[in-house]
Amino acid sequence: MTESPPIRFGVIGCAEIARKVSRAISLSPNASLHAVGSRSLEKAKAFAIANGFPEGAKVYASYEEVLDDPNVDAVYMPLPTSLHVRWAVSAAKKGKHVLLEKPVALSALEFDEIVEACESSGVQLMDGTMWMHHPRTAAIKEFLSDTQRFGQLKSIHTIFTFGADPDFLENDIRVKPDLDALGSLGDEGWYCVRAILFANNYELPKTVLASREPVLNKAGVILSCGASLFWEDGRVATLYCSFLSNLTMDITAVGTKGTLHVHDFIIPYEEKKASFYAASESGFDDLVTRWGSEPSKHVIENDLPQEALMVSEFSRLVAEIKFNKSKPEKKWPTISRKTQLILDAVKASIDRGFEPIQIKE
Amino acid sequence: MTESPPIRFGVIGCAEIARKVSRAISLSPNASLHAVGSRSLEKAKAFAIANGFPEGAKVYASYEEVLDDPNVDAVYMPLPTSLHVRWAVSAAKKGKHVLLEKPVALSALEFDEIVEACESSGVQLMDGTMWMHHPRTAAIKEFLSDTQRFGQLKSIHTIFTFGADPDFLENDIRVKPDLDALGSLGDEGWYCVRAILFANNYELPKTVLASREPVLNKAGVILSCGASLFWEDGRVATLYCSFLSNLTMDITAVGTKGTLHVHDFIIPYEEKKASFYAASESGFDDLVTRWGSEPSKHVIENDLPQEALMVSEFSRLVAEIKFNKSKPEKKWPTISRKTQLILDAVKASIDRGFEPIQIKE
């Protein structure tokens, strides 16, 4: 990494998740907290004080002012999904790099507007899928890519659920049709879809089919749903997401020669290390009364929490553009778009009475 | 347990699995190996010698002779599924209690013939689902039934796969349409369906839908498939079974307040103990950077291997009938039938181009 000055962040909106990411910006050696904007100046001030913004940090009573601050290099955008197009496009047009919370948009079509604006302005776009940046994720990838230990992927099963409290189910933006209209699918299903695509080297499935009996609230927002994804060669994937069940974060991937289990893939049990279980060529003793060997536990340590690693990687790309005239890294918006495309298909399948949806890139 | 003499078993057929169950009969304090029958006397003799049959054990060159032996109380029947109706009905008619390998039949309709014959003769019928008899299973049940620790079941996801070798895929009875015509669904899916029903207190789902893209061999036998089950109140279940993937045996059950993980539910990693993972009211620290607590590991020890516990329980019921004039326990054939009914529905859904199948008891 070059010894360039840190990338200066403006935080747009004071959502809960912004606390965690502000800390991550502080922890990240190549990033700094420069400004925060809220529709309320009081709220912005209180947020800056509570979240370790430095003395000279700017506090604004609007999102516009953050975008107009010439010293802001990049914005972190934890706004409700329905506001993403407007504010991400504005940010890009003003030359700000964009770290965008997930789901990135309400549809892939909408997301394309953001991508276009970022490409036109030559700014980096990355979504806030933190677990992608944990070193465990790279270790898992290594296992899944190992033709000897894992073989070919045959099926992957993912779950992300948590038990929302009554206040959440009544008032959170994630149950409001005008804010995060994709509900549990957008908030939780996003991670499941990403894990599925990650394990499939981002090869899109041929067909997506939503499960019957999703749970919707009165406003029609998804509180719980599932889906199956199918590839032409017989690979299958399932996802299940819900606001109505105990916290669960599972990846189970089964290959011809190996099996992967991860139980905390989105947020590891601990901040400074994370594990996964890998089994290879599992079998039984002669009488089939016990296994020949148990899956092995792999522990990966990380010096910085995964959200700080995300900020660091984003800032590294931004610094490359700012100081070394590099082009933005297209990998990140590309996988954001594929993830969104599958969410769109699950939603469409539900809306059309559980019809299978063919995926076209 | 009364101090009655052991129940004398006749083993019909010398399948691989019969080795394990013969050992289980030897290990079981209330059971004894009395006879074995095969179409080949040589094979029966070799089997008896290799599998610890006592000196005076009978060796027969036909299944009929086992059924005609007045000293045989019960038969263990590891025959190909297509032969179950014929031989289980014959055994029942001759007053023999029947321990029947799974899948119990090629359809619920066929199984009903076996049930009827056993009921008419007043003999006990039980299927060979060994894990039902492991004390871990009772401990899991306790967790799933705990309204404080687990709450209400919302979803359950099950996997049973193993990597069959080329010889198996060419020659095993489980890939032959005239022997075990249900293939992977009958052999592996059976356990997944049983686990799903077990967790749902044997309440049948409303709808069963097979997953797209099952893998069939040239003869049309299922090598790999999946399905989803739906209850009216929004509960869902998934199963995935395959002869084409690494050995995996998973139950993941998610309730409103708790989560269960079992990775070796059918055959535990070790013979004399088995574990499961339970999480309750899982949550995060304030900044959502790590979990408040990790799932806890529960280890259950068993004095006898689960297959011997199965034989013991079956023999206890038989002894109750034989010595105490009890009636056969209907619980076992009832859950066998329900399991078979769901297999039938998965098969029907595949055959009808992935139509949802309504379940009628």
Q: Which CATH number covers residue B354?
A: 3.30.360.10
Within a domain: A335: no
For residue A69, the model assigns a pLDDT of 98
- A87-123 as b/e, with b when 16 or more CB fall inside 10 Å? bbbbbbebebbbbbbbbbbbbbebbebbbebbeebeb
Dihedral sign for Cα atoms in the order B296, B297, B302, B306: positive
Q: Among candidates A340, A356, A355, which has minimal Cα distance to A109?
A: A340
Within a domain: B99: yes
Distance between B265 CA and the closest CA of chain A, angstroms: 11
Catalytic residue among B45, B58, B96, B102: B102
Domain boundary among B129, B150, B176: B129
B269 exposed, middle or buried (CB, 10 Å; 0-12, 13-18, 19+)? Answer: middle
Distance CA B292, CA A246 (A): 13
At residue A361 the predicted structure's pLDDT band, cuts being 50, 70 and 90, is confident
Distance CA A279, CA A65 (A): 53
Within a domain: A152: yes
A241's tokens: 């997401």
Q: Least CB-CB distance to A270: which of B242, B255, B290?
A: B290
* Average pLDDT, integer, range B303-329: 98
Residue B109 has pLDDT above 80, yes or no: yes
8 Å CB contact of B236 and A226: yes
Range of the domain at A271: 134-305+340-358
Q: Least CB-CB distance to A256: which of B157, B163, B231?
A: B163
8 Å CB contact of A215 and B226: no
Q: Tokens 């038969």 appear where?
A: B75
* Average pLDDT, integer, range A183-209: 98
Q: pLDDT per residue over B176-192, tens digit each?
A: 999 999 999 999 999 99
A294-300: long-range contacts at Cβ-Cβ below 8 A with a sequence spacing of 24 or more?
A294/B269, A295/A259, A295/A261, A295/B263, A298/A139, A298/A143, A299/A273, A299/A274, A299/A275, A300/A134, A300/A135, A300/A136, A300/A139, A300/A273, A300/A274, A300/A275
For residue B361, the model assigns a pLDDT of 76
Q: Least CB-CB distance to B291: which of A151, A269, A289?
A: A269
Whichever domain contains A96, its CATH number is: 3.40.50.720
Contacts of B284 in chain A (CB under 8 A): 247, 267
Q: Where in chain B does DSSP place strands (E)? A: 7-12, 31-37, 58-60, 74-77, 97-100, 125-127, 153-163, 207-210, 215-216, 222-230, 236-242, 244-255, 258-262, 273-280, 296-301, 357-358
Q: Choosing among B229, B232, B233, B248, which should be mutated to test the A contact, i.e. which has the most A CBs within 10 A?
A: B248
Residues B173 and B73 in one domain: no
How many cross-chain Cβ pairs, A to B, lie less than 8 Å apart?
Answer: 204
Q: Choosing among A246, A262, A290, A311, which should be mutated to test the B contact, i.e. which has the most B CBs within 10 A?
A: A246
For residue A3, the model assigns a pLDDT of 74
The ipTM estimated for the assembled molecules is: 0.96
Could you please report the per-residue DSSP string of B47-59? HHHHTT--TT-EE
Catalytic residue among A20, A58, A93, A102: A102
Chain A's closest residue to B288, CA to CA, is A20
8 Å CB contact of B267 and A282: no
For residue B3, the model assigns a pLDDT of 74
Within a domain: A33: yes
Whether residue B207 contacts residue B229, with contact meaning beta carbons closer than 8 Å, is answered with yes
For residue A116, the model assigns a pLDDT of 98
Distance between A94 CA and the closest CA of chain B, angstroms: 31
Chain A's closest residue to B23, CA to CA, is A287
Distance between B336 CA and the closest CA of chain A, angstroms: 22
Residues A167 and A290 in one domain: yes
Distance CA A181, CA B92 (A): 60
Chain A's closest residue to B231, CA to CA, is A213
8 Å CB contact of B247 and A234: no
8 Å CB contact of B154 and A161: yes
Contacts of B19 in chain A (CB under 8 A): 287
8 Å CB contact of A259 and B246: yes
The backbone torsions φ and ψ at residue B169, rounded to the nearest 5 degrees and listed phi first, read -65, -20
Whether residue B35 contacts residue B72, with contact meaning beta carbons closer than 8 Å, is answered with yes
| Chain centroid to CA B163 | 19
Distance between B276 CA and the closest CA of chain A, angstroms: 13
Q: Choosing among B241, B267, B287, which should be mutated to test the A contact, i.e. which has the most A CBs within 10 A?
A: B287
At residue A55 the predicted structure's pLDDT band, cuts being 50, 70 and 90, is very high
8 Å CB contact of A212 and B215: no
Residues B351 and B239 in one domain: yes
Coil, strand or helix at B224: strand
Domain boundary among B59, B94, B129: B129
Residues B145 and B281 in one domain: yes
Residues A75 and A220 in one domain: no
Within a domain: B85: yes
* Average pLDDT, integer, range A132-142: 98
Q: pLDDT per residue over B130-152, tens digit each?
A: 999 999 999 999 999 999 999 99
A139's tokens: 């270790």
Residues A233 and A344 in one domain: yes
8 Å CB contact of A289 and B305: yes
Dihedral sign for Cα atoms in the order A46, A51, A52, A56: negative
Domain boundary among B99, B129, B159: B129
8 Å CB contact of A281 and B254: no
The backbone torsions φ and ψ at residue A284, rounded to the nearest 5 degrees and listed phi first, read -115, 170
Q: pLDDT per residue over B229-238, tens digit each?
A: 999 999 999 9
In the residue annotation, B102 being an active-site residue is answered as yes
Contacts of A209 in chain B (CB under 8 A): 212
Contacts of B226 in chain A (CB under 8 A): 155, 228, 236, 238
Within a domain: B315: no
Distance between B243 CA and the closest CA of chain A, angstroms: 9
Within a domain: A102: yes
Q: pLDDT per residue over B280-298, tens digit each?
A: 999 999 999 999 999 999 9
Q: pLDDT per residue over A2-22, tens digit each?
A: 578 999 999 999 999 999 999
For residue B1, the model assigns a pLDDT of 47
Distance between B292 CA and the closest CA of chain A, angstroms: 8
Residues B109 and B228 in one domain: no
8 Å CB contact of B248 and A259: yes
Distance between A244 CA and the closest CA of chain B, angstroms: 6
* Average pLDDT, integer, range A20-48: 97
Distance between A287 CA and the closest CA of chain B, angstroms: 6
With a CB cutoff of 8 Å and minimum separation 6, the contacts of B90 are: B63, B64, B67
Residues A118 and A166 in one domain: no
Within a domain: A167: yes
Q: pLDDT over 70 for what percent of chain B?
A: 99
8 Å CB contact of A245 and B154: yes
8 Å CB contact of B290 and A268: yes
Whether residue A202 contacts residue A132, with contact meaning beta carbons closer than 8 Å, is answered with no
Chain A's closest residue to B304, CA to CA, is A289
8 Å CB contact of A248 and B259: yes
Contacts of A248 in chain B (CB under 8 A): 252, 254, 259, 279, 282
Q: Which amino acid is at A199?
A: A
8 Å CB contact of A155 and B258: no
For residue A202, the model assigns a pLDDT of 98
Residue A282 has pLDDT above 90, yes or no: yes
Contacts of A19 in chain B (CB under 8 A): 287
Residue B2 has pLDDT above 60, yes or no: no
Q: Choosing among B130, B245, B250, B304, which should be mutated to test the A contact, i.e. which has the most A CBs within 10 A?
A: B245
Residues A111 and A19 in one domain: yes
B201 exposed, middle or buried (CB, 10 Å; 0-12, 13-18, 19+)? Answer: exposed
* Average pLDDT, integer, range B23-28: 98
* Average pLDDT, integer, range B151-164: 98
Whether residue B251 contacts residue B242, with contact meaning beta carbons closer than 8 Å, is answered with no
Residues A66 and A158 in one domain: no
Residues B50 and B89 in one domain: yes
Q: Least CB-CB distance to A250: which of B161, B252, B258?
A: B252
Residues B181 and B230 in one domain: yes
Structural domain count, chain A? 2
8 Å CB contact of B246 and A255: yes
Q: pLDDT per residue over A205-240, tens digit each?
A: 999 999 999 999 999 999 999 999 999 999 999 999
Contacts of A270 in chain B (CB under 8 A): 290-291
